[in-house]
């Protein structure tokens, strides 16, 4: 038995609003699965589970603001049976709105809350009773997930649980394949896209079906419907359901203009064309992730002003604390980017835009590798001493349109190839701007990089994000006269800066770091992971 | 609809605007004059610009290389580039 608690999603977070549950009682969850959406002052974040097991009671209603550390749900880690005797109708579990009106102590949330106050054994008993049947919790038409290696083996300290009832025969899936492990978010995505999970080939570890697989499956599946790739992308971004869009292209193909028209129509008549969905989500109803994304975008516009104020406050508090506590020192150096850009240019030639790198990815790669070389700058200042980071986890400052910023984290950035780094960067930036980041993607940074150069300035001297001890800044890439070997030429250059915490390091260490960044960018092909790429 | 047919200026401008809007949904074109550097005015970062190249290429049905990036600086340049490139491409396919 484990408690899933309100996580801290950054040094500036004390409390958060549980906005939406992505799982229902009885759902099997794996470590790393997104289980809920939490709204902080800065963004709506998908938070993940850190244990594998079965979702027991949901202890907090959507819309509730709770401090960090508050238990949100119980996760039964003892067993993850495919099916259990039903005691509680699943419909109830999937309609939290209904739960609020139910009287307590009738075996639902009230009982679970009481159970929590009792002994651990009592808790286990209550918990075992309310486990919902897995098969019933799966949307119609989907095969019941089989237990897989994803389900954690019972830990030795776990309370004894009743032997799992024999699993009922799975409903036949379209392909007749056994269902692979499927995370709740993936399941919701599949649900929302109308994808039969049984027919999806899992490309993840152990045949696990990933979101990408579902998205892929969703594409060719409705073959009867011709949609241009751009229209499809637009529909996704605007939250338009393609099923309801009238196509005006060749052979009834849906074009971008059709999607836009549908989006406009939806906006013009919100009551009629957006039945219940946004309302349900606000009330804490259960909506598929895809829909929810659209909904949260809508909500963000509604209270955009409020959100902006809250974000300014959050940024203000963290930065004030930084300037109050951290004695900053600043270094700056101009780096010749000609070799890096030439390398990148060669590498990008002949590749479609989707497979190309941008300079920012190379700068991040160099920043990460340099942090490995100068570990004194990579970690946290805690209780009056420096704790080196385990791995280089780069926070990347992403400015949001309309103001504010978020710093998603690229974990183990030093070990990623430029390609992987690029893919991760794209994904994080996109989702940061859409307000759909995961908790783990916002925490654990050991060093932050800001590339304000994208906004045109030549140098940025940043404020360190406590408890980190340094911040790296890259300005705009500009063409400047540059002397190499006594010859003057015009080169692309970038100003790299370092803000350091003088409690943790002195300027000499900082200088070593910037020198390393410079050296790495002069030999981009020698950066680990880059050479293989060049061989092709 | 991503065609390989050549575009005239008006069509090319529509494609450019639609593509930019796909990247920056709230792009305000009243602020962008034909010879302004739209990347600066609309605050497209390098990832946004790469997305724009991807969408433009898809929409116009022509390849766009890194060497072509400088021609996608202003709306006027971009229109001229697309008209020219789609024409070349159409001819080369005949």
Of B27, B38, B44, B45, which to mutate for an interface test with A (greatest number of A Cβ within 10 Å)?
B45
Q: Give the per-residue pLDDT at A138.
A: 35
Indicate yes or no: CB of B45 within 8 angstroms of CB of A455: yes
Judge contact between A346 and A431, C-beta under 8 A: no
Which of A 414-473 lie inside 8 A of B, CB atoms? Answer: 425-426, 429, 454-456
Chain B contact set for A301 (CB, 8 A): none
Tally the residues of chain B.
94
What gap in Å lies between CA A487 and CA A494, rounded to an integer? 19
Q: At the topology level of CATH, where does A1-171 sit?
A: OB fold (Dihydrolipoamide Acetyltransferase, E2P) (2.40.50)
User: Is the preceding peptide bond at A467 cis, omega within 30 degrees of 0?
Assistant: yes
Q: What value does the CA radius of gyration of chain B take, rounded to a whole number of Å?
A: 12
Residue among A255, A54, A267, A254 at smallest CA distance from A162: A54
Residue among A47, A78, A77 at smallest CA distance from A60: A47
Of A353, A402, A454, the CB nearest to B54: A353
Q: Which residues of B22-50 are buried (b: 16+ CB within 10 A; e: fewer)?
A: bbbeebeeeebeeeeebbebbebbbbbbb
Of B2, B50, B57, the CB nearest to A358: B50
Residue of A nearest to B68 (CA): A349
Tens digit of pLDDT per residue, chain B (94 long)?
Answer: 445 678 899 999 999 999 999 998 888 888 899 999 998 888 888 899 999 999 999 999 899 999 999 999 999 999 999 999 998 888 887 6
Chain B contact set for A256 (CB, 8 A): 1, 18, 22, 59
What gap in Å lies between CA B4 and CA A250, rounded to an integer? 14
- Residue A106 burial (CB count, 10 A): 9
Q: Is B93 on the interface with A (CB under 8 A)?
A: no
Which of A 107-166 lie inside 8 A of B, CB atoms? Answer: none
Judge contact between A426 and A418, C-beta under 8 A: no
Indicate yes or no: CB of B47 within 8 angstroms of CB of A360: yes
Judge contact between A460 and A475, C-beta under 8 A: yes
Q: What is the DSSP string of A44-111?
A: EEEEE-SS-EEEEEE-S-TTEEEETT-EEEEEE-S---S-----S-HHHHT-HHHHHHSPTTSSSHHH
Q: Is A359 on the interface with B (CB under 8 A)?
A: yes
Of B2, B47, B66, the CB nearest to A228: B2
Residues of chain A short of pLDDT 50, as ranges, are 80-180, 220-223, 269-300, 531-536
Judge contact between A268 and A262, C-beta under 8 A: no
Of B22, B47, B65, the CB nearest to A230: B22
Q: Is B65 on the interface with A (CB under 8 A)?
A: yes
Q: How does DSSP classify residue A411?
A: T
Q: Give the per-residue pLDDT at A98.
A: 38
Rounded to the nearest angstrom, the minimum Cα separation between B6 and chain A is 17
Of A237, A253, A359, the CB nearest to B1: A253
- Residue A117 burial (CB count, 10 A): 8
Q: Is A535 on the interface with B (CB under 8 A)?
A: no
Indicate yes or no: CB of A353 within 8 angstroms of CB of B26: no
Instruction: State the virtual CA torsion across A112, A118, A119, A125 in degrees, nearest 10.
Output: -30
The verdict on domain B9-93 having CATH code 3.40.190.10 is no
Indicate yes or no: CB of B43 within 8 angstroms of CB of A455: yes
Q: Is A301 on the interface with B (CB under 8 A)?
A: no
Query: Between A and B, how many CB-CB pairs are < 8 A?
Result: 59
> Which value does ipTM take for this structure?
0.86
Q: Which residues of A343-354 are buried (b: 16+ CB within 10 A; e: fewer)?
A: bbeebbeeeebe
- Residue A294 burial (CB count, 10 A): 22
**Which residues are within 8 A (CB) of A425 and not within 5 positions of it... i.e. 6 or more apart?**
A360, A361, A364, A396, A410, B47
Of A230, A234, A348, the CB nearest to B66: A348
Three-class HEC string of B1-58:
CCCCCCCCHHHHHHHHHHHHHHHCCCCCHHHCCCCCEHHHHCCCCHHHHHHHHHHHHH
Judge contact between A446 and A466, C-beta under 8 A: no
* pLDDT tens, position by position, A376-395: 999 999 999 999 999 999 99
List, by residue range, all CATH 2.40.50.100 domains of chain A: 1-171
Which residues partner with A395 through β-bridges?
A409, A448
Indicate yes or no: CB of A352 within 8 angstroms of CB of B54: yes
Chain A contact set for B45 (CB, 8 A): 360, 454-455
Of B24, B25, B50, the CB nearest to A353: B50
Q: Give the per-residue pLDDT at B2.
A: 46
Indicate yes or no: CB of B22 within 8 angstroms of CB of A353: no
Q: Give the per-residue pLDDT at A229.
A: 65
CATH class of A328-535: alpha beta
């Amino acid at each position: 038995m484990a408690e899933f608690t309100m996580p801290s999603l950054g040094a500036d977070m004390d409390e958060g609003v549980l906005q939406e549950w992505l799982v229902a009682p009885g759902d099997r969850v794996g470590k790393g699965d997104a289980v809920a959406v939490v709204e902080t002052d800065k963004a709506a974040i998908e938070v993940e589970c850190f244990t594998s097991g079965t979702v027991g009671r949901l202890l907090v209603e959507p819309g509730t603001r709770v401090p960090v550390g508050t238990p949100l749900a119980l996760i039964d880690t003892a067993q993850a049976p495919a099916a259990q005797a039903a005691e509680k109708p699943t419909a109830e579990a999937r309609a939290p709105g209904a739960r609020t009106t139910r009287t307590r102590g009738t075996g639902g949330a009230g009982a679970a809350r009481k159970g929590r106050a009792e002994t651990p054994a009592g808790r286990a008993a209550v918990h075992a009773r309310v486990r919902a049947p897995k098969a019933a919790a799966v949307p119609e038409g989907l095969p019941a997930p089989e237990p897989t290696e994803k389900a954690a083996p019972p830990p030795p300290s776990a309370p004894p649980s009743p032997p799992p009832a024999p699993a009922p025969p799975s409903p036949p899936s379209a392909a007749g394949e056994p269902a692979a492990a499927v995370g709740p978010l993936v399941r919701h995505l599949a649900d929302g896209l109308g994808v039969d999970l049984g027919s999806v080939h899992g490309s993840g570890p152990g045949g696990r079906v990933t979101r990408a697989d579902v998205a892929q499956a969703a594409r060719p599946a409705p073959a009867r419907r011709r949609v241009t790739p751009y229209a499809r992308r637009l529909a996704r971004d605007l939250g338009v359901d393609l099923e309801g869009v009238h196509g005006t292209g060749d052979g009834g193909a849906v074009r971008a203009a059709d999607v836009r028209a549908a989006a406009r129509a939806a906006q013009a008549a919100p009551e009629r064309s957006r039945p219940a969905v946004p309302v349900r989500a606000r009330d804490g109803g259960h909506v598929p992730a895809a829909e929810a994304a659209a909904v949260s975008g809508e909500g963000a516009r509604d209270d955009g002003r409020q959100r902006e104020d809250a974000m300014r406050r959050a940024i203000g508090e963290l930065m004030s604390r930084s300037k109050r506590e951290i004695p900053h020192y600043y270094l700056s150096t101009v780096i010749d980017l000609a070799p890096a850009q030439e390398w990148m240019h060669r590498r990008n030639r002949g590749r479609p835009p989707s497979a190309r790198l941008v300079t920012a990815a190379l700068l991040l790669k160099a920043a990460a590798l340099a942090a490995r070389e100068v570990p004194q700058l990579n970690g946290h200042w805690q209780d009056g001493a420096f704790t080196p980071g385990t791995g280089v986890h780069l926070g990347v400052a992403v400015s949001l349109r309309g103001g504010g910023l978020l710093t998603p984290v690229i974990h183990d950035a030093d070990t990623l190839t430029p390609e992987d780094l690029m893919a991760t960067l794209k994904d994080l930036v996109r989702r940061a701007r859409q307000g759909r980041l995961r908790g783990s993607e916002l925490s654990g940074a050991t060093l932050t990089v800001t590339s304000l150069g994208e906004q045109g300035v030549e140098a940025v001297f940043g404020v360190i994000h406590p408890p980190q001890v340094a911040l790296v800044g890259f300005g705009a890439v500009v063409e400047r006269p540059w002397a190499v070997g006594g010859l003057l030429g015009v080169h692309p250059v970038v100003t790299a800066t370092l803000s350091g915490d003088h409690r943790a390091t002195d300027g000499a260490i900082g200088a070593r770091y910037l020198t390393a960044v410079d050296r790495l960018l002069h030999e981009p092909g020698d950066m680990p992971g880059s050479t293989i790429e060049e061989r092709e | 609809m991503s065609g390989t047919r050549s575009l005239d200026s008006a069509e090319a401008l529509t494609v450019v605007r639609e593509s930019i809007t796909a990247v920056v949904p709230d792009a305000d074109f009243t602020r962008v004059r034909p010879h302004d550097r739209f990347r600066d005015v609309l605050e497209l970062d390098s990832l946004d610009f790469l997305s724009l190249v991807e969408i433009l290429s898809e929409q116009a049905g022509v390849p766009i290389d890194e060497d072509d990036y400088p021609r996608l600086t202003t709306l006027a340049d971009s229109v001229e580039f697309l008209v020219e490139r789609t024409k070349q491409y159409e001819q080369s396919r005949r």
